[in-house]
Amino acid sequence: MPLDFFSKTPVSNALPDGMRHIIDELKQSASQEECLKKAYVILTKKYHGERIRTYRNLFDIFKRDLDTLWNKSGFLHCTNINYLLRTLLVQSAFFTEDDIRLKWTLVWYVSPHQYLQVLVGSEWINVDIWAHAYGIGFGDNACGFH
């Protein structure tokens, strides 16, 4: 099973009930941009990144079970959060896998970090939910000492 480091874990059709409810809400969006922003807000309220827990909980990076990930709140690895976001977006039917790119950077110039780029219309938008806790907003991503 891919780890979402450099390739995408396939989006599952077996969804937790709570996630299915959110997807039904996202399907009511008026546009791709609205859908993406709603998903961003939902996930930034539920999950966040933490520098120290990234290393302390290193082996959680291998978790890909949607029930396990969705039923957590608080800290998740960037790859886990991105898997949840990709699932919400693709299952909303506003986006396809081709509309979502995995991107990499180094945070603090030493720590590998993944964020997403999502195609909305003809524009690629950076989405970094993990970094939201550090003041990185919608359309931006963590990098260096940013």
Domain range for 24 is 17-134
Q: How many domains does the chain have?
A: 1
Both tokens of residue 80?
A: 């886990």
Residue 64: which pLDDT band, with cuts at 50, 70 and 90? confident
Give bridge partners of residue 126 from the DSSP assignment: 117
Residue 1: which pLDDT band, with cuts at 50, 70 and 90? very low
Give the tens place of pLDDT for each residue, 2-30.
445 556 788 889 999 999 999 999 999 99
E-strand ranges in the chain read 47-48, 74-75, 100-107, 111-120, 123-127
In a domain, 4, yes or no: no
Q: What CATH number is attached to the domain comprising 25?
A: 3.10.620.30
Give the tens place of pLDDT for each residue, 104-120.
887 665 567 889 999 99
